[in-house]
Amino acid sequence: MLRALAEAAPAAALAAVCLLGLAIGSFLNVVIVRLPERRSLWRPGSACPGCGAPIAWYDNLPLLSFALLRGRCRACAMPISWRYPLVEAVTGAAFLSAYTVFGPTARFVVAAALLAALIAITAIDLQLQIIPNAITLPGIVAGVLTNLGTGAVSWLEAVIGALLGGGVFVAIMLGYALLFREEGMGLGDAKLGAMLGAFLGWKVLLFSLFAAVTVGGVLAIVLLATGLRGRKDPIPFGPFLALGGATGLFWGEKVVAWYLSGFGG
C-alpha cells in the first residue's frame, strides 16, 4: 500500500510516514511510562497523572494537542512534560529519515521498528537508568528473524552480531568489577548490544559501538571535567548505544564498505 502511494503521490507518502511516526511516538510515551511499572499498555486509557482526569482523543493528538493546550492539562492545568511532544517529534523525524533512506520497502518497516525501540529505551534509561528486558530480549529474536526475511545481512552475521554485541559488554562489566571492585555497566547494556547486533550484523555493529563509545566518552570527559558528574555518578550508556545503533542503521553499511575497500587495493 505504501509503495503504491509512493509511486502515485510521493508527497502524500511522506506525509503518511510522518503521521505514522507521530502516532507511534504518542504510543511510545505510554510505553515509556507504563512498561517500567509493568502496567498494561492498553488499559486503562490515558489520564492526567495529577488529577486522574481521562484524556479525550482530541487532547491526545500528537504535537497539536500539546500546542493547543499550551502544555497543560485541560482539567487541572498541571504542566505536561516536554518529553511527550519531544518523543513524538523525534519519532516522526526518525520515520521520515528511514523512509528517505530505505523507501517503501520491508527494510523501512524493520528500520522504523528498531528506531521506535531505541527511542523508548533512550527515554527510559535517561529517566530510570534501566533498559527493559521486555524490549531487548524480544528484540534480539526479532532482529535475527527480520534479517531472514529481508536478507539485509545473513542469519549467521546476525547471530554473530548478537553474540558479539552482548559479549563485549559482559567482558567490560566483568573487567571493571575485577579492577575497581564495583559494578560498572549493567546487563541491560549487554542485552541492548545483542539486540543491535542481531538487527545490524556484526560488521555494522562494530561501527555502531565505535560511534557510541566515542560520543559517550567525550561527553563523560566533559561532565567529569566540569564537575557536573563525579566518577561514581551514574551516566546511562543506553542512549549512546541507541545513537550508535541509529548511526549504524543509516550509514553503517557505507562506512563498512568504504573501510573494506581500502584493503582491496
Q: Does 144 lie in the same domain as 97?
A: no
Query: What confidence score (pLDDT) does residue 7 get?
Result: 67
Cβ burial of 150 (10 Å; 0-12, 13-18, 19+) is middle
- List, for residues 91-118, the tens digit of each pLDDT value: 999 999 999 999 999 999 999 999 999 9
Out of 16-25, 110-119, 147-156, 216-225, pick the least confident. 216-225
Query: What confidence score (pLDDT) does residue 65 get?
Result: 95
Of 104, 123, 143, the domain-final residue: 104
Domain membership of residue 24 (yes or no) is yes
Rounded CA-CA distance 214/206 in Å is: 12
Q: Does 138 lie in the same domain as 96?
A: no
Bigger pLDDT: 250 or 181?
Answer: 250
Query: What confidence score (pLDDT) does residue 123 get?
Result: 97
Q: Does 143 lie in the same domain as 60?
A: no
Out of 23-27, 142-146, 182-186, pick the least confident. 182-186
Q: Does 181 lie in the same domain as 61?
A: no
Range of the domain at 2: 1-104
Rounded CA-CA distance 172/185 in Å is: 7
- List, for residues 180-218, the tens digit of each pLDDT value: 666 656 789 999 999 999 999 999 999 999 999 999 989
Rounded CA-CA distance 122/144 in Å is: 22
Rounded CA-CA distance 244/133 in Å is: 19
Domain membership of residue 111 (yes or no) is no
Domain membership of residue 137 (yes or no) is yes
DSSP string, 10-31: HHHHHHHHHHHHHHHHHHHHHH
Q: Does 24 lie in the same domain as 153?
A: no
Q: Does 214 lie in the same domain as 89?
A: no
Residue 158's region, left for phi above 0, alpha for psi from -120 to 50, else beta, is alpha
Out of 108-112, 140-144, 204-208, 227-231, pick the least confident. 227-231
Domain membership of residue 97 (yes or no) is yes
Q: Does 178 lie in the same domain as 256?
A: yes
Domain membership of residue 113 (yes or no) is no
Q: Does 248 lie in the same domain as 182?
A: yes
Query: Letter for the amino acid at 260?
Result: L
Give this prediction's pTM. 0.93
Query: What confidence score (pLDDT) does residue 262 get?
Result: 74
Count structural domains, the chain: 2
Domain membership of residue 121 (yes or no) is no
Angle of helix 10-34 versus helix 83-102 axis, rounded to 10:
140
Cβ burial of 71 (10 Å; 0-12, 13-18, 19+) is middle
Rounded CA-CA distance 75/144 in Å is: 46
Query: What confidence score (pLDDT) does residue 45 get?
Result: 87
Q: Does 97 lie in the same domain as 158?
A: no
Q: Does 148 lie in the same domain as 261?
A: yes
Q: Could you tell me which residues come within 8 angstroms of residue 57 by beta carbon, excluding any fewer than 6 positions away?
A: none
Query: Would you say residue 1 has pLDDT above 70?
Result: no
Domain membership of residue 242 (yes or no) is yes
Bigger pLDDT: 181 or 171?
Answer: 171
C-alpha cell at 240: 549512546
